Structure 1
Amino acid sequence: MNRRGAALIIGVTMLVGACTADSDSPASVSDRSIECPEIAAGFDEWAVAGFSGTIAISTGGREDCSFAYGDTTITTDTVFSVGSITKSFTAAAIFALVDDGKLSIDDRAGDLVPDLGGPVADVTVAQLLTHTSGLTGNHGSDEQPLGRDEALAAISNLGVAFAPGSDVLYSNAGYTLLALIIEETSGMSYRDFMVTRVLRLPDGHVAGGFWEAGPHWALDGNGGLAMTTRDLASWTHALFTGQVVSPEAVERIRTPVFDVGDGTSETPGWVALDDKVFGEPGLAAAGGGDSTGHNAVVVWLPSSERVVAMASNTAKVTAEELLRAVGPALVAGDPLPTPRDDEVALDPGALDAVVGRYELDSGGSFEVSSRDSRLVVTAAGPDAVPALFPIPDDIGASRIAEHEADVLALLAGATDEGRDERKALETDIGTLDDVELAGTLFDDGDLRTYVTVTSGSETAVVWYALDEEGSVAAVEITDGLPSRSFVSTTGGFRPDDPSASEPTITFDDNRMTLSGPDGATTTTAARSAR
């Protein structure tokens, strides 16, 4: 699923010297200069904890630091999928056409793409750029081969959830429509225009290319690009200093358009962040979560002309999680915080002693197993999943309940989208006999509601992420109910995730207690340890 996620980014001000590093292993870095040893040492610790990917930092267009971590194949020149950061490039392409006099951002989409139908034909280019068109629903799955005509027909069939310009609703389909507009007005294919006009850096080097060969109009415009973090940082500086589009266009791109109300505002292709986040106004974009398993983030601090770009290829510590973890210290000019290092060895017999099933009085349950000296806990039930995966404070219980109700209503098939979704599920697993709510967690910037679906004697677990209007933003048939790995500490168990500290787990008198930000959840063993 391509998504933005930039609202999750916390501030980061980089005051660093020059250093360059490639790694042979997560714990080994070579060829590093001495100007930023504290920052380098901090990143090394996060690599040991599980970050695998690259980091590039620049000031004024000059590369300050670049790091690479992971196996021996990862260097600072490794290419990563950048997911929804592609939207920043698509927005730049639109303004390049504005510079050429080929279109205006006030033009109607239907006037620019004659074959476009449905209510989206009346929205403007500006509304598509800032996710204020109201376009709701998806036009295709990320990895689904999809031709241009099929994508255009699917977008024409999508609805508009509110009066365009009156609210914000994130839309991948809206950016694919922008790619179709680029193709119609430029006289070139979308990809050719991007390579020849938008991706080319001032030195003539082309910053990246497309991850899939195609036809992939499910991704084109909204999430198909791949590049190195060094090129991403270079391109970001070039964009905002008027070397990709005109200074007038840059001003339109960087100027907040729609205030979301949480310190962020929509701009064309980016999220604008107020000075409470960075200490100075900034812009950010992030993406990932599709089948590549990659995650990427880039931030631009205009007053200092600083760029930081990160990309990762594992879920252990993602690029966005790393930025969240180190941001406050970087803002303060302090050494980077290091991951928690309180794990203690535990006799396998002690793990086996707590293996079993634990039940909540309210109906949910946890299945506890051991694997590779880790405790693995699997949650089942709307009461159990949030205890295992604490929900952020800014997401209330009412929002979770609404999301769960919308998922169940969708799978009841009362709407056209719901009937289509049931049909798609039944193609994969057979006729649906029952749908049972399994719980909701927050991951990758979205609420994900898990359901167990039954077809005859077969069952499958599926999660859904819905947009604000209740349409499907992402869906996945999973390997099972949500689970989490924990390591042993002197006081019990904590998540095997260096960027997370809750919940903690303790065992006492045949009970398991999960302690999180909302208090303690106590369960009773229903099945003894093996």
Structure 2
Amino acid sequence: MKALSFLSRTPGQLAAALSLALAITSAATSAATAQAAEQAAEQIVDHGAASDRLSEAFDALEAAGFTGIVGLSLEGETVLMRGAGEADPQTGRLFGPDTQVDIASITKSYTGMLAAQLISDGTLSADLRLADMFDDVPADKADITLHQLLTHAAGLPGGVGDDLAEEDFDTFRANAFAAPLRFEPGTAYYYSNVGFSLAAAMIERATGQTYESLLRDRLAAAGIQDTGYQTAHDTQRSVHLRDGRDVSEASWGGHPPNWNLIGNGGLVSTAPDMLAWRQAWSAGELISPEARDLGQTPFQDEGGGASYYGYGLVVEDDPELGRIYWHNGGSAHFNAHWRELADHGLILFVATNQRHLNADRVVDVLTAAWFDRPWQVAPATPPADASLKLPDTPAARLVHDYLAALDADAAARQAFIEARFTPALLAAAPLQEHLALFEQVAADLTDHRLAALQADEAQVRIAVYAPALGRSVELIFDTPDPQTRQIAGLQIG
């Protein structure tokens, strides 16, 4: 039974309901957890040999095009800390332990950690409603609870604005409160950046501190100094894009992060900070053991019973590796992943500025290497020497205009969307989501080398080299009318 099925009860009942939910969740998974832990304990690893295998795997990753930073600790002791490639292509500065990276949606793990402590010490309540904190909450969202926000069960959309815009909290709040819900709160799961930003706002109102100052104070007590937003960011240590932009410019828009990011994404950190943070959190030193256990409860089935969402982290019980906690995150330019194999005392962190060998993949390779399991790394594919020349046809003009829009600003992309998308495709998602997809594809296809073009009556297919992925990517435009070539659907893969 899912814990969230209890959340329609009255506020006075919710504390008991959460306790009951914990008990039921524990009972439902205890057998699998015990079996996984027992099997994990049987896996004896020669740490010296494992360290050698990690070095071999990292060398292979670097040779295949991985750029970024990797950190791995065992029982609190660092056993691997290596960088690959340039953190700043314009100066040649390499990735290293002091490189500040954008950890993207891993920010949610910090928000969940703070919320768990505040709930545990009584400053906040899991059943606190939006209407208890804000005066202008519409009726459909008034009873959304902090617990639902922290477990992606509020029914809120993924986003309601532009991460790079200069928007204040009132604008974000108005957009969030005006957005239609995807489902009745507490009845399903949908990953929502909006929900975590609202949770961060509730934290601010309850404590009287800004989200960043509260987080920085908590981390400083554990000696963690390089994690935060603008008060932590150091452009001399930040990862930069090839065009010279650092994290503050590429991820925040060149100004302090707005509320489309605060609490859900955009924090900067370093690999040593990430390992120290997770170690102190897991040990019950950064927050109380009670708060740790609350935040790491597998509350919400993410869809299928294989993984559950706690407060800002995913909880899994692997049949061979035992209990695993993790979260990842990605933006148009950066991606990262932390993972703890709790039954082995093993913590991994990876951050990259490309997606051919993204952080998820690198974590998988390093985990396999540690446990002496098979792994493979595919090298990047070099681009073609020249871009394919386009004929003068409706299909080719569509491709030309699309690639030009990728290389243009948001206004030009919006003009393309409004001119080229069918009304049904336009209505399928908010404009901001269409623009976000454009931004993501543009980050991948910066080279714009067209390798192939095929068209029939209903589709236009192209292959474009993607430097960030180290290979060509196929894009399929569904175009029911071969004369107008209006886009009714787009597949990227």
Equivalent residue of 1:310, what SS?
strand
> How big is the alpha-carbon RMSD for the aligned residues of Structure 1 and Structure 2?
4.4
> Which residue does 1:274 correspond to in 2?
317
Written as runs of structure 1 = structure 2, the 5 A alignment for 1:118-517 is: 118-136=139-157, 138-197=159-218, 199-200=219-220, 202=222, 204-210=223-229, 211=248, 212=252, 213-214=255-256, 216-259=258-301, 260-261=303-304, 263-276=306-319, 279-290=321-332, 293-331=333-371, 333-334=372-373, 337-340=376-379, 428-429=414-415, 432-435=418-421, 474-476=436-438
- What is the one-letter code of the residue matched to 2:346? R
- Map Cα deviations across residues 406-441 of structure 1 (whole Å, 9 max, x no partner): xxxxxxxxxxxxxxxxxx86895389444269xxxx
Equivalent residue of 1:474, what SS?
helix
Instruction: Give unpaired runs (5+ residues) of structure 2.
Output: 1-39, 87-92, 230-247, 403-409, 452-462, 475-493
Superposed displacement of residue 200, structure 1: 2.9
Q: Is the 8 A contact 2:54 2:366 kept in 1?
A: no
- What is the one-letter code of the residue matched to 2:224? H
Distance 1:168 1:379 in 2: 39
Equivalent residue of 1:58, what SS?
strand
- Map Cα deviations across residues 168-192 of structure 1 (whole Å, 9 max, x no partner): 0111110000110011000111111
Superposed displacement of residue 285, structure 1: 0.3
- What is the one-letter code of the residue matched to 1:135? L
Equivalent residue of 2:148, what SS?
helix
Structure 1 residues 189 and 49, CA, compared in 2 at 3 Å: closer, same or farther? same
Distance 2:210 2:44 in 1: 38
- What is the one-letter code of the residue matched to 2:421? V
Instruction: Give unpaired runs (5+ residues) of structure 1.
Output: 1-11, 19-33, 368-377, 382-423, 438-448, 454-463, 487-492, 505-530
- Map Cα deviations across residues 347-396 of structure 1 (whole Å, 9 max, x no partner): x9xx78x96679xxxx98899xxxxxxxxxx8999xxxxxxxxxxxxxxx
Q: Is the 8 A contact 1:321 1:499 kept in 2?
A: no
Structure 1 residues 189 and 45, CA, compared in 2 at 3 Å: closer, same or farther? same
Structure 1 residues 324 and 481, CA, compared in 2 at 3 Å: closer, same or farther? closer
- Map Cα deviations across residues 274-316 of structure 1 (whole Å, 9 max, x no partner): 214x6212111001124xx111000111222211000012234
Structure 1 residues 364 and 324, CA, compared in 2 at 3 Å: closer, same or farther? farther
User: Quick one: higher RCO (CA 8 Å, sep 6+), 1 or 2?
Assistant: 2
Distance 2:133 2:265 in 1: 22
- What is the one-letter code of the residue matched to 1:94? A
Superposed displacement of residue 340, structure 1: 4.6
Q: Is the 8 A contact 2:156 2:179 kept in 1?
A: yes
Distance 1:224 1:318 in 2: 17
Distance 2:130 2:277 in 1: 28
Q: Is the 8 A contact 2:281 2:287 kept in 1?
A: yes
Equivalent residue of 2:421, what SS?
strand
Q: Is the 8 A contact 2:163 2:260 kept in 1?
A: yes
- Map Cα deviations across residues 489-527 of structure 1 (whole Å, 9 max, x no partner): xxxx999899899999xxxxxxxxxxxxxxxxxxxxxxx
Equivalent residue of 1:243, what SS?
coil
Distance 2:257 2:443 in 1: 31
> Which residue does 1:63 correspond to in 2?
78
- Map Cα deviations across residues 220-256 of structure 1 (whole Å, 9 max, x no partner): 0110211012211211121122112221221122221
Taking structure 2 as the reference length, what is the TM-score of the superposition? 0.65
Distance 1:366 1:317 in 2: 33
Q: Is the 8 A contact 1:118 1:157 kept in 2?
A: no
- What is the one-letter code of the residue matched to 2:310? T
Superposed displacement of residue 474, structure 1: 3.3
Superposed displacement of residue 116, structure 1: 3.9
- What is the one-letter code of the residue matched to 1:322? V
Distance 2:435 2:292 in 1: 30
Q: Is the 8 A contact 1:137 1:472 kept in 2?
A: no
Q: Is the 8 A contact 1:88 1:285 kept in 2?
A: yes
- What is the one-letter code of the residue matched to 2:338? V
Distance 1:65 1:431 in 2: 46
Q: Number of residue pairs matched? A: 382
Percent sequence identity over aligned pairs:
26
Equivalent residue of 2:142, what SS?
helix
Distance 1:14 1:82 in 2: 32
- What is the one-letter code of the residue matched to 1:280? G
Taking structure 1 as the reference length, what is the TM-score of the superposition? 0.61
57, 61, 68: which one aligns with 1:42: 57
Q: Is the 8 A contact 2:193 2:264 kept in 1?
A: yes
Q: Is the 8 A contact 2:388 2:449 kept in 1?
A: no
Structure 1 residues 38 and 106, CA, compared in 2 at 3 Å: closer, same or farther? same
- Which has a greater percent of helix? 2
Structure 1 residues 14 and 266, CA, compared in 2 at 3 Å: closer, same or farther? farther
Equivalent residue of 1:95, what SS?
helix
Structure 1 residues 188 and 228, CA, compared in 2 at 3 Å: closer, same or farther? same
Superposed displacement of residue 35, structure 1: 7.4
Distance 1:285 1:89 in 2: 11
- Map Cα deviations across residues 23-62 of structure 1 (whole Å, 9 max, x no partner): xxxxxxxxxxx97233212211211221111111112222
Distance 2:77 2:444 in 1: 47
Structure 1 residues 118 and 226, CA, compared in 2 at 3 Å: closer, same or farther? farther
Q: Is the 8 A contact 1:284 1:298 kept in 2?
A: yes
